[in-house]
């Protein structure tokens, strides 16, 4: 963020400096027509706008996919918990308890990993492994086996999609190419300001530079859907956790859960 702002400010200052320096030394020939700002900046402006539009679309799609993955995972986890209720005991209690612990582990451990950009956490995997262990014990002959397997498969797919979307979708080289393009555009605008420029021209250039900078910062933020200011909410998973924990507490008592509040495995569980 600091680098982006610094690049924009330096571009503005550099352009104004060269404009001032060269305008002092250059005199137009009588009757000569100066090159207008639009002559030089129109191609660069077009390039900058196209780049901004393209990158904004990519970042927005990545953010939307991340949000959808979280919501899908929350729904699938809820369904998995509800389907497990029809399994024979003790498999039903084990599955439902593991579902709660998995959700807690995602919120407490994996979410922090995604914010840092490292993605996958081993803690939720402890509970997804327990899902498979219980399913193996049930066996394919159980009428609920296929339903539970399909639900667990959808949960795994949603988790992998969520983790994949936590990584930036915009290549770093493309982002910096866009920064350079916008910086050059600002320099060109500043360089071609009229010799007798007034406060309005300077103010317009500053506003333009500010807008470009805000666009870059917005793209950088949205491209990190779990770490930026505009981040994907945990509300869907928290709602699911509250719902399934309440259901488990009614049937078994929450004290029998094999994990703590952060989804960590309890000793002897």
Q: How many domains does the chain have?
A: 1
Tell me, yes or no, whether 17 lies in a domain. no
Tell me, yes or no, whether 262 lies in a domain. no
Tell me, yes or no, whether 16 lies in a domain. no
Contact criterion met (CB below 8 Å) for 165 and 69 = yes
Tell me, yes or no, whether 12 lies in a domain. no
Structure tokens at 64: 């939307």
Structure tokens at 252: 């078994």
Tell me, yes or no, whether 19 lies in a domain. no
Tell me, yes or no, whether 115 lies in a domain. yes
Residue 31 has pLDDT above 60, yes or no: no
The region of weakest confidence among 97-101, 154-158, 170-174 is 170-174
Q: Return mean pLDDT, the chain.
A: 83
Structure tokens at 73: 């995972």
Question: Tell me, what's the pLDDT at 213?
Answer: 86
Tell me, yes or no, whether 128 lies in a domain. yes
104: domain range?
A: 2-7+39-256
Instruction: Express each pLDDT in 144-163 by its tens digit.
Output: 889 999 999 999 999 999 99
pLDDT band at 59 (very low <50, low <70, confident <90, very high): confident
Run of H or E including 250? helix 235-251
Our CA angle for 114, 119, 125, nearest 5°, is 115
Count Cβ atoms below 10 Å from residue 55 Cβ, excluding itself.
Answer: 22
Cα–Cα dist 83/96, whole Å: 9
Residue 28 has pLDDT above 70, yes or no: no
Residue 27 has pLDDT above 60, yes or no: no
Question: Tell me, what's the pLDDT at 29?
Answer: 45
Tell me, yes or no, whether 198 lies in a domain. yes
Instruction: Express each pLDDT in 200-249 by its tens digit.
Output: 777 888 888 888 888 888 888 888 888 878 888 899 999 999 999 999 99
Count Cβ atoms below 10 Å from residue 167 Cβ, excluding itself.
Answer: 16
Q: Torsions phi, psi of 196, nearest 5? A: -100, 60
Contact criterion met (CB below 8 Å) for 182 and 56 = no
């Amino acid at each position: 963020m600091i680098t982006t702002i610094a690049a924009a400010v330096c571009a503005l200052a550099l352009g104004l400096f060269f404009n001032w320096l060269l305008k002092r030394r250059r005199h137009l020939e009588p009757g000569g027509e100066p090159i207008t700002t639009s002559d030089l900046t129109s191609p660069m402006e077009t390039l900058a706008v196209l780049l901004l539009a393209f990158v904004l679309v990519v970042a927005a799609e990545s953010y939307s996919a991340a949000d959808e993955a979280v919501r899908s995972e929350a729904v699938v986890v809820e369904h998995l918990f509800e389907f497990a209720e029809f399994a024979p005991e003790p498999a039903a209690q084990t599955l439902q308890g593991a579902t709660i612990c998995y959700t807690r582990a995602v919120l407490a451990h994996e979410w922090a990993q995604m914010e840092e950009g490292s993605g996958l956490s081993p803690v939720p995997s402890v509970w997804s492994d327990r899902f498979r262990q219980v399913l193996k014990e049930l066996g394919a002959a159980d009428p609920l086996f296929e339903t539970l397997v399909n639900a667990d498969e959808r949960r795994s797919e949603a988790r992998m999609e969520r983790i994949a979307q936590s990584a930036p979708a915009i290549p770093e080289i493309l982002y910096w190419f866009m920064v350079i393009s916008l910086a050059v555009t600002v320099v060109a605008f500043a360089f071609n300001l009229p010799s007798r420029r007034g406060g309005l021209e300077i103010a317009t250039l500053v506003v333009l530079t500010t807008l470009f900078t805000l666009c870059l910062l917005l793209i950088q933020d949205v491209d990190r859907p779990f770490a930026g200011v505009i981040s994907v909410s945990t509300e869907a998973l928290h709602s699911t956790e509250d719902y399934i924990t309440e259901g488990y507490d009614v049937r078994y008592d929450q004290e029998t859960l094999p994990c703590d509040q952060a989804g960590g495995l309890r000793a002897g569980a």
